[in-house]
Amino acid sequence: MTKKLWFRAKRYGWGWTPSTWEGWLVVIASILLIIFYSTQLDKSSKQIPYLFFIRIAIIVSVLIFICYKKGEKPGWRWGGK
């Protein structure tokens, strides 16, 4: 039995694209979290930008991890099959 892939490898370049509703849900949740944290930025505080970048790094790291575990093997592709 083959596992259901949430992300397919891009046709050109390196990376993934969502191919199921679960994959789209993960991507949309990541985008919404980034938008939420960007609205929490306070221009008067100097500590908040550091916290923002740490949170963004964590969100992106988790997204890449999920893509790696639930997607096709990553690698550079030049199109075709």
Among 28-32, 44-48, 72-76, 77-81, name the one with the lowest average pLDDT.
44-48
Residue 8 burial by CB count (10 A; 0-12/13-18/19+): exposed, middle or buried? middle
* Residue whose token pair is 């993960």: 26
Q: Is the pTM of this model over 0.85?
A: no
Looking at 1-62, which runs of residues are DSSP E strands? 7-9, 12-13, 16-18
4: pLDDT confidence band, cut at 50, 70 and 90? confident
Q: Is the pLDDT of residue 60 over 60?
A: yes
Q: Are 63 and 27 in contact (CB under 8 A)?
A: yes
Residue 10 burial by CB count (10 A; 0-12/13-18/19+): exposed, middle or buried? middle
* DSSP state letter for 14: S
